[in-house]
Amino acid sequence: MKRVGGAIMAMVVLTAGASLYAGDAKQFQDKHKAAGVQCASCHGNNPKAIIPNQNCLACHDSYQKLGEQTKDMHINPHKSPHFMDLECTSCHASHTAIKNFCQDCHGPIARKR
């Protein structure tokens, strides 16, 4: 089931192109909804529980793969030279805009394309 989700997500990623990242205000939840991802796929049975990385990576594979997808950024947030196993939701809170904390030190980070 999760694999199917992954395939759908991969298609969304391919078709959505640059607008997926770009520090835009687009809510990730919309992408998830459009891809048919159920609330419980991320949240389990409790919306107040924290979402572990494994829930995200079940569809999105690995940090290594995500790093490949964002390698055009001048600072690649998925291939941090500082940190390992960052919590996905520390930037990608699905119900709000992306909040990239790399910017606290590095200043604005955007995609080139």
Partner 1 sequence: MGTYSKIVQLALIVVTVAVSGSVYAADRTINTDIVVIGGGSTGMAAAVASAQGGAKVVVLEKNPYLGGASNFAEGLFAVESDLQRAKSNGLTKDEAFKHIVEFGHYKIDIPLIRQFVNESAENIHWLQKQGVQMEAIQISPTEPLVWHVIKDNGHIVHGGALITVLQAKAKALGVEFMTRTPAKKLIYTNNKVTGVEAVDHKGNKVTVNAKAVIIGTGGFGNSKELIAKWTKFDPDKFKPSLPINKTGDGIKMAQDVGADIEGLNLMLHQGTEGKGIVPLGALYTMVWQPNTLWVNKYGKRFTDEMVAFSFSQAGNAIAAQRGHFGWTIFDDGMVNYINERGVDNGIGVIVKVTDKLKGLRGEINNAIAAGSDNFKAADSIEELARQIEVPVDTLKKTYTNYNKYAENHYDPEFAKEHRYLLPLNKGKLYAVKVMPYHFTSIGGIRINTDMAVIDKNDKPIAGLYAGGCDVGGLYSDTYTLWASGHAYGFAAYSGRMAALNALKVMKK
3 binds partner 1 (CB under 8 A): no
95 binds partner 1 (CB under 8 A): no
Q: Which is nearer to partner 1, 12 or 70 (CB)?
A: 70
82 binds partner 1 (CB under 8 A): yes
Please answer whether residues 51 and 45 qualify as being in contact, where contact means their C-beta atoms are separated by less than 8 angstroms. no
Residues in 48-77 that interact with partner 1 by CB under 8 A? 48-50
CB 89 to partner 1: min, Å: 8
CB 74 to partner 1: min, Å: 14
Interface contacts to partner 1, rule CB under 8 A:
46-50, 79-87, 89-90, 101, 104-105
